[in-house]
């Protein structure tokens, strides 16, 4: 057998056996080269162009005439168009009315479900269950791929420590390690075992890079950090997504180190392509190339196109800059056609990988669309992950779980609401398909419930309070559903205040004054600062935006059909003045000491969050023994840590056992703790179990003074617990 063939077979085998970094398949190389050889420069530039249809707008501009752009070969990719009927029509134009009949990619923001809507990603991140998160992403991809789509602009993996930023709802919160695990799980779910199935899409990891750290939490604002900070805290989730096989990457609107990511060669070429070996294609965010003129790094749009393309940008989303100027740039020698050929090949390879040349209509099967969307199986999965995404923040005097037979007053602007439940970035979701909290409760209890809206989410009108207080007087327990509107988080939705909008806090506090047990159900897209409610309410559930099965999932937890397991993926501040607040902070030279004036603290507020990263209660209780750690120094288990966890309560429960480490002395300052692993264990009442972790040398490594990633010998603190504050500890010297 010829060596070349043998190598091909070995690469194919490895690609099949292990989900790994995307590699264009060698099988298609010849076809791609043959097609490229036939293409004119205009047709090549058409493949580098992505336009939205007028079906939906996710940015500031809309273009007319996209069908003519397809017909002329000026546009090779579309987004915001879906359903088998609409996609079939547009694909027909591409494969029947153009010279080379190159099929289109169809992209869409399938961020937390296509038609069956799952919890917003920040909500899902609260479940810490990678299998559930992968399944959720897989179902979303399966539904989208049944509706004509073959590309999603997900997962969004931007680490963020700032709840003022509206897009925290789309990500996995403040932690690098948890974010990296979730990024990989979502890519696996979206792309399936192998590209080309009709239950998988191209993933697009975004927004590269460090979009989640805008100054002042204001969307699109400057990002200003050292390369060490970037690499230590913000890059690992993008890299994890690439290692998991992500086929495409989307750059971010922000600048990094003074250069917009859209035109940042260091980010795109040096790190993403050369250091990480990314072989897919890079797409700009919506008119991100055009916006480099506003950034002030280029004098006009033509220069913006040249800066972006020469930095490694392959596809221009909605800016029509490549279409308008790239040919002239080639003529002027400012862009090389050889580089355009490389970009075109990356895109054609993925169209071949998807099987679009064999069957351009493979994602347009109306029967599959009908049977897949909102299926009972998908709804059941949505209900399961929704329950797992709920975080029990407070439960005084075992107010929860509620007992059937107790008279319930259901109050608040979100008690019967459906339209907000699907959250922002809700794909093709329809609020009418949602189960409201009221519907979930009434179905479970088999009776109607006295429900009083009392006020709007964001108004000053308290005229509905008397009716609410009246209903409360006649009830045994009060459930009050408050929060934000879905559009108060997401893109271009930063908030300078992160309290409950309107008069909702006043409503809750007046209900608390009745002396009846008050259960607060929060529905929101970001951590909120609610210190007064935290003090006065009897019980608090953080339910985020749970999507289609929200009402059923919340009811399951309220009545103990599901014992809550959620853990916070982001710290909840006591006040916005503490922001940015995060658990893996540095010690400083004067670490916080409440008894000493001269330490890092506020004179008017505590340093600690209201609820810390990793926090979440259960209807049972767990206790942790002291961990033991031994250096095994083997490849897979450099250090082995064991800890005994006991269920000390009266009912079975699942605990997320978290493991943190601290490098006590480094060549640069190190965080007081960093999450390095976690495991979920289900224990019966009275049951104890030894949980063992195998830490690798990488887990003890960091970007040292010389900026090289590696470990330094010394003493490390090993911490274990059910959140990032209540921890049992030991030390080990390595
Ligand atoms: C938006 C968002 C991005 C989204 C894209 C396409 O501006 O920043 O996350 O994928 O446009 O809708």
Total structural domains within the chain = 2
Which of 153, 167, 205, 209 should be mutated for ligand 1, with most atoms under 8 A from CB? 153
Active-site residue flag, 109: no
Expressed in angstroms and rounded, the spacing between residue 79 Cα and the centre of ligand 1 is: 10
Structural domain includes residue 584: no
Same domain, 445 and 556: yes
Angle at 110 between CA 284 and CA 268, to 5 degrees: 25
Q: How far apart are CA 326 and CA 42, in angstroms?
A: 9
- Residue 317 Cα to ligand 1 middle (Å): 9
Range of the domain at 414: 383-565
484 within a domain of the structure (yes/no)? yes
State pLDDT tens for residues 704-719.
999 999 999 999 999 9
Residues 419 and 528 in one domain: yes
Point out the domain boundary residue: 565, 583, 608: 565
Q: pLDDT tens digits, residue range 630-665?
A: 999 777 789 999 999 999 999 999 999 999 999 999
CA of 285 to the centre of ligand 1 (A): 6
User: Are 387 and 478 part of one and the same domain?
Assistant: yes
Which of 62-71, 186-195, 509-518, 719-728 shows the lowest mean pLDDT across its residues?
Answer: 62-71
What mean pLDDT is predicted for residues 688-703?
Answer: 97
Identify whether residues 560 and 647 lie together within a single domain: no
Average pLDDT, the chain: 96
Tell me how far the alpha carbon of residue 204 lies from the centroid of ligand 1, in angstroms.
11
Ligand 1 contact via 491 beta carbon (within 6 Å): yes
Do residues 349 and 71 lie in contact, with contact meaning Cβ atoms separated by under 8 Å? no
Residues 546 and 636 in one domain: no
pLDDT at 434 over 80: yes
Is 113 a member of any domain? no
541 with 675, same domain: the answer is: no
- Domain identity same for 551 and 628: no
| Any domain includes 652 | yes
* Residues 469, 136: Cα–Cα separation, whole Å: 40
The closest of 734, 731, 679 to 701, measured between CA atoms, is 734
pLDDT tens by residue, 364-408: 999 999 999 999 999 999 999 999 999 999 999 999 999 999 999
How far is the centre of ligand 1, averaged over its atoms, from the C-alpha of 288 (Å)? 10
CATH code for the domain of 561? 3.40.50.1700
0.85 exceeded by pTM:
yes
Integer Cα distance of 626 and 638 in angstroms: 20
Do 428 and 530 share a domain, yes or no?
yes
Rounded mean pLDDT, 449-457: 96
Q: What is the pLDDT of residue 54?
A: 81
In a domain, 554, yes or no: yes
Among protein residues, the one with the nearest Cα to ligand 1's atom 8 is 285
Residue 705 lies in a domain: yes
Where residue 628 sits, what CATH number does that domain have? Answer: 2.60.40.10
Question: Are 410 and 558 in a shared domain?
Answer: yes
Name 719's bridge partners.
660, 729
Q: Which atom of ligand 1 is nearest to the CA of 207?
A: 9
φ, ψ at 206 (rounded to 5°): -145, 165
459 inside domain = yes
Among protein residues, the one with the nearest Cα to ligand 1's atom 10 is: 153
Q: Are residues 504 and 651 in the same domain?
A: no
Q: In what order do the strands lie in the sheet with 77-79?
A: 151-152, 105-108, 77-79, 49-52, 316-317
Question: Which pair of tokens denotes residue 211?
Answer: 């979009």
pLDDT for position 8: 54
d(CA 582, CA 175): 8
Whether residue 555 sits in one domain with residue 627:
no
Of 498, 533, 565, the residue that ends a domain is: 565
Question: 310: cis peptide before it, omega within 30°?
Answer: no
The answer to whether the peptide bond before residue 27 is cis (omega within 30 degrees of 0) is: no
- Name the strand (E) or helix (H) holding 116: none
DSSP single-letter state for residue 118:
P
Please tell me if the CB atom of residue 425 comes closer than 6 angstroms to any atom of ligand 1.
no
Structure tokens at 680: 């979920």
Give the pLDDT score at 16.
44
Catalytic residue among 162, 285, 316, 384: 285
CA 528 to chain CA mean position, Å: 18
The answer, yes or no, to whether any atom of ligand 1 lies below 6 A from the CB of 56, is no
Instruction: Please say which residue of 565, 589, 609 terminates a domain.
Output: 565
| Beta strands at 674-683 and 628-631: parallel, antiparallel or unpaired | unpaired
Q: Domain check: are 399 and 523 in the same one?
A: yes
Q: Is residue 533 part of a domain?
A: yes
């Amino acid at each position: 057998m010829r060596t070349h063939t043998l190598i091909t077979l070995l690469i194919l085998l490895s690609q099949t056996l292990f989900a790994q970094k995307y590699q264009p398949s060698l099988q298609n190389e010849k076809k791609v080269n043959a097609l490229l050889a036939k293409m004119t420069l205009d047709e090549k530039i058409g493949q580098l162009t992505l336009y939205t249809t007028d079906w939906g707008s996710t940015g500031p501009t809309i273009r007319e005439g996209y069908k003519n752009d397809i017909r002329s070969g000026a546009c090779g990719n579309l987004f915001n168009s879906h359903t088998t009927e609409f996609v079939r029509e547009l694909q027909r134009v591409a494969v029947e009315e153009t010279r080379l009949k190159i099929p289109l990619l169809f992209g869409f923001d399938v961020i937390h479900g296509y038609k069956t809507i799952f919890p917003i990603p920040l909500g899902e991140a609260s479940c810490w269950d990678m299998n559930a998160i992968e399944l959720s992403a897989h179902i979303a991809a399966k539904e989208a791929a049944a509706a004509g789509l073959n590309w999603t602009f997900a997962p969004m993996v931007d680490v963020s420590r700032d709840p003022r930023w509206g897009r925290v709802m789309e990500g996995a919160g403040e932690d690098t390690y948890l974010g990296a695990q979730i990024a990989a799980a979502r890519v696996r779910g979206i792309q399936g075992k192998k590209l080309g199935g009709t239950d998988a899409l191209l993933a697009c990891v975004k927004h590269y890079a460090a979009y989640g750290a805008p100054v002042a939490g204001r969307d699109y604002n400057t990002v200003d950090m050292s390369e060490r900070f970037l690499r230590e805290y913000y890059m690992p989730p993008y890299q994890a997504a690439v290692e998991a096989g992500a086929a495409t990457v989307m750059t971010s609107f922000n600048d990094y180190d003074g250069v917009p990511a859209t035109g940042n060669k260091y980010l795109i070429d040096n790190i993403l392509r050369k250091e990480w070996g990314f072989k897919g294609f890079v797409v700009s965010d919506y008119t991100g190339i055009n916006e480099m003129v506003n950034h002030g790094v280029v004098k006009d749009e033509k220069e913006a196109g040249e800066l972006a393309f020469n930095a490694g940008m392959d596809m221009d989303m909605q800016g029509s800059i490549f279409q308008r100027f790239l040919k002239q740039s080639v003529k002027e020698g400012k862009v090389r056609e050889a580089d355009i050929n490389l970009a075109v090949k990356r895109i054609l390879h993925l169209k071949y990988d998807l099987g679009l040349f064999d069957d351009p209509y493979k994602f347009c099967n109306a029967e599959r669309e009908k049977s897949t969307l909102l299926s009972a199986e998908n709804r059941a999965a949505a209900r399961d992950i929704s329950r797992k995404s709920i975080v029990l923040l407070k439960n005084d005097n075992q107010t929860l779980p509620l007992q059937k037979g107790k008279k319930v007053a259901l109050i608040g602007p979100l008690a019967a609401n459906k339209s907000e439940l699907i959250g922002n970035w809700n794909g093709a979701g329809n609020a009418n398909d949602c189960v409201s909290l009221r519907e979930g409760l009434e179905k479970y209890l088999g009776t109607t419930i006295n429900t009083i809206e009392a006020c709007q989410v964001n108004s000053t009108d308290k005229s509905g309070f008397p009716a609410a207080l009246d209903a409360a007087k006649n009830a045994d327990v009060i459930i009050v559903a408050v929060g934000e509107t879905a559009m108060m988080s997401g893109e271009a939705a930063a908030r300078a205040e992160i309290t409950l909008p309107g008069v909702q806090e006043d409503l809750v506090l007046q209900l608390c004054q009745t002396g009846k047990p008050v259960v607060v159900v929060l529905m929101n897209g970001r951590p909120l600062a609610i210190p007064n409610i935290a003090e006065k309410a009897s019980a608090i559930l953080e339910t985020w935006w749970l999507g289609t099965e929200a009402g059923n999932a919340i009811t399951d937890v309220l009545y103990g059909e599901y014992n809550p397991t959620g853990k916070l993926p982001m710290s909840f501040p006591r006040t916005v003045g503490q922001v940015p607040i995060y658990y893996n902070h540095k010690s400083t030279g004067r670490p916080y000491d409440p008894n000493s004036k001269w330490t890092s603290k506020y004179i008017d507020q505590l340093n600690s969050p209201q609820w810390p990263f990793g926090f979440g209660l259960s209807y049972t209780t767990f206790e942790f023994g002291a961990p033991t750690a031994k250096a095994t120094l083997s490849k897979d288990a450099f250090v082995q840590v064991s800890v005994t966890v006991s269920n000390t309560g009266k009912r079975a429960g699942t605990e997320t056992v978290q493991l943190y480490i601290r490098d006590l002395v480094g060549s640069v300052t190190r965080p007081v703790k960093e999450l390095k692993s976690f495991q979920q264990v289900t224990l019966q009442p009275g049951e104890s179990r030894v949980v063992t972790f195998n830490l690798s040398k990488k887990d003890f490594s960091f970007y040292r003074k010389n900026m090289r990633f590696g470990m330094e010998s010394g003493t490390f603190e090993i911490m274990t617990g059910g959140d990032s504050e209540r921890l049992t500890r030991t030390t080990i010297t390595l």
